[in-house]
Structure 1
């Protein structure tokens, strides 16, 4: 027996067994799915469990907003840059589980309404009482007229965009947007793991448009980063 243990064949068999063991272990780990549920992070008697259930089963499957922070916006006065920005928005609205243009919010949509109806009252805006139609084609061809932006951003209810839209004046006294927020809506999310997959997809979309230096943000972003960094070894 001792002679066999010390033989070449015993060594070869042992190496083969180890290789087979690690092969099946590694392929098995890669096949597992990381699925972290919010309920896993709470004690069994936590009152927050019902809140997690409502978000997972009712709210997120129907609507989940992702905020895109754009730190290098284009020159909206330039028609080419403005058109490229619009094309990017349209592509993002076509992504999986996106709710499309109906759920997209950014200051430009409201600014176009303001340019078309600068004297509209708060109630006109809030209740969608139509005035002059927005001529989007004109601005696509000529770029946005930013000369009215100061009036727009200081007019109710558009002042709400002040928190998410930063701007300055250049040496020619022209308005320059220095950072802004874009809000997009998604559906089909029913767990933290689903949200992690969605945020990863949003980040991949942002990497296609590095010129805008965009990052997607969600209130669970830090927790999602932890989920995405965990190897796929947690079985649902």
Structure 2
């Protein structure tokens, strides 16, 4: 049984997603033969992030990001995709220049069409809880129903 499972090969490729006469096939071939052969993408997920309200948390994340972007053979900042990059200017606009980490703006940010995709990368916790925010802490309180 295990031997058979180990021999299974995935047969779906990008080329099979398009019709044989699709003009996009040439772009898929370029992507497969040149772009992906010359490099790869890195995905980094943080399982236990620090408290984003702490003054050094966001700068520390940005320093780590810059280390990836400036690593040898990296494409650099032009290829970086991270939810925090569009979120900080959004908060700054809403808060008149302050970019303090605002959990209260998450729901609004993630509902906007251009930022909706980032909601899948951020775990806001159990939806049965309501987040109460004061100036220093976030505490979760069970919603009474």
TM over 0.5: yes
The alignment's TM-score, normalised by the length of structure 2, stands at: 0.57
Does residue 128 of structure 2 align to residue 160 of structure 1? no
Paired residue total: 110
Q: Structure 1 length normalisation: TM-score?
A: 0.37
Compared CA separation, residues 58 and 162, structure 1 to 2 (3 A): same
The RMSD of aligned alpha carbons is 3.7
More strand, by proportion: 1
4+ runs deviating over 3 angstroms:
52-57, 61-64, 169-172
Alignment check: 8 A CA contact 1:76 1:82 kept: yes
- Alpha-carbon deviation of 1:69? 1.7
Q: Which residue of 2 is the match for residue 68 of structure 1? A: 44
Q: CA deviation at 1:89?
A: 1.1
How far is the alpha carbon of 1:65 from its aligned partner?
2.3
Who is 1:173 aligned against? 132
Q: Which runs of 5+ in 1 are unaligned?
A: 1-40, 42-46, 119-131, 177-236
Q: Deviations over 1:118-171 (max 9, x none)?
A: 5xxxxxxxxxxxxx9xx5xx54xxx42322112111222211112222113788
**TM-aligned CA deviation for residue 56 of structure 1:** 5.6
Alignment partners' CA distance in 1, 2:117 and 2:111: 9
Which one of 145, 161, 166 corresponds to residue 102 of structure 2? 145
